[in-house]
Structure 1
Amino acid sequence: MRGQWRASRTANAGIVRLLTSGAPDLAPERGRSFPRDAVDDAVTHAGPFDRAALTPRTG
Structure 2
Amino acid sequence: MTTEIEWPASEAELVPYLRELLHSAAPILLEGLIEQATVEVPRVFPDVDVIAALRRALS
Same topology, TM > 0.5:
no
TM-score, length of structure 1 as denominator length: 0.31
Larger radius of gyration: 1
TM-score (norm 2): 0.31
Between Structure 1 and Structure 2, which shows a larger proportion of strand residues? 1
| Larger RCO: 1 or 2 (CA < 8 Å, sep 6+) | 2
